[in-house]
Amino acid sequence: MALAWVLAVGSVASANGVGTIFVADEDGGTVTVLDGVEHLAVERVRVGTEPHAVAFSPDFQRVYVVNKGGANVAIIDRLTLTTLFDIPVSVSPMDVEFGPDSNTLFVSSARGDGIAVVDTADRRILAVLTACEGPRNIVQTLDNKLLYVACEIADEVVVFDTSDYSTVARIPVGDAPWGAAVSEDNKWVFVTNRKSNTVTVINNATQQVTSTVRVGDGPTGIVAASQPAAPIQFRPGAPVVTELPRTGTGPDDNGMSLLKWVAAGTLVAVPLVAVFDGVRRRIRRQRS
């Protein structure tokens, strides 16, 4: 399957789209607030130990910060830029995602091996979903029906039904899955595999792996955007990366890509032609 989506792999800060950016400072125990117009730091809010992931409430009035070292979620008022309160969760929380309504929050726990379902109104844990070993990033489908959990140690993705929290599927993926993203048409889920340097493409309707795409070293974060109206314009004169064909999917894990075979064959063939040509010339000289 040729990827019809532009994949961006990397780390990003959270922004609300109206001029404020919140950055989790894991080593400093703070959240730095940037002005989205001037791009200057306007405030630094102390939130706890090792803030790691950030999410906005659906109404953009509050910022939820996962404190990995503090085993809690701190809540910041977006207007006053003050910490309102925090909600205790399991050890080593890694990611946060709002559920089908504005009062439900999902929080993954790397060492707790589960997903906490948090009631933000009552500030309590409603349930803990038994996920897998080493849950990392979580992502909800656009229709709010399914929750995908990337499980780094188990090398799988676990899918939950958000209506009753039942397990829908367990999908084997690559080595050390970390990030997850849903396409804008809700048809595909993309999962980065940090140690196998690949992205797994999952059909959201069937929960089946459709393809595996090779990317760079150690992929973690990922977002998916729809195909732009104009074709991608590669920089003129940029060298072709043979491991990453610019159209279609990347090479399979079990073999070399066609471009690699062509390149390897060229490297072998050119010296051989030169050798044969030299022998032919020497024979001609001897005959003459």
Q: What is the pTM of this model?
A: 0.75
**Of 14-23, 170-179, 207-216, 248-257, minimum mean pLDDT range:** 248-257
Among candidates 31, 49, 164, which has minimal Cα distance to 100? 164
Average pLDDT over residues 100-104: 86
- Sorted by sequence, the CB contacts under 8 Å of residue 112 that are 6+ apart come out as 90, 91, 92, 128
Q: pLDDT by residue (tens digit) across 268-281?
A: 444 544 545 555 55
pLDDT value of position 115: 94
Is residue 251 scored above 50 in pLDDT? no
Which is it for strands 82-88 and 72-77: parallel, antiparallel or unpaired?
antiparallel
Residue 284: Cβ within 10 Å count: 9
Please give the Cα distance from 186 to 226 (Å, whole number).
Answer: 11
Tell me the average pLDDT of the chain.
Answer: 81
The topology (CATH level 3) of 5-228 is Methylamine Dehydrogenase; Chain H (2.130.10)
**Both structure tokens of 230:** 């104009």
pLDDT value of position 146: 97
Please give the Cα distance from 284 to 229 (Å, whole number).
Answer: 61
Is residue 240 scored above 60 in pLDDT? yes
pLDDT value of position 170: 97
Q: How many CA atoms lie within 13 A of 81 on its CB side?
A: 15
The larger pLDDT score, comparing residue 252 to residue 213, is at: 213
Please give the Cα distance from 156 to 133 (Å, whole number).
Answer: 9
Residue 119: Cβ within 10 Å count: 15
**Of 65-79, 83-97, 244-258, minimum mean pLDDT range:** 244-258
Residue 69: Cβ within 10 Å count: 15
- Sorted by sequence, the CB contacts under 8 Å of residue 50 that are 6+ apart come out as 26, 27, 29, 67, 68, 69, 70
Average pLDDT over residues 122-151: 93
Distances in whole angstroms, Cα of residue 244 to Cα of each of 97, 105, 140, 232, 275: 32, 38, 29, 15, 32
Is residue 34 scored above 60 in pLDDT? yes
DSSP state at residue 235: P
Is residue 78 scored above 80 in pLDDT? yes
Domain ranges of the chain: 5-228
Please give the Cα distance from 188 to 213 (Å, whole number).
Answer: 14
Is residue 117 scored above 60 in pLDDT? yes
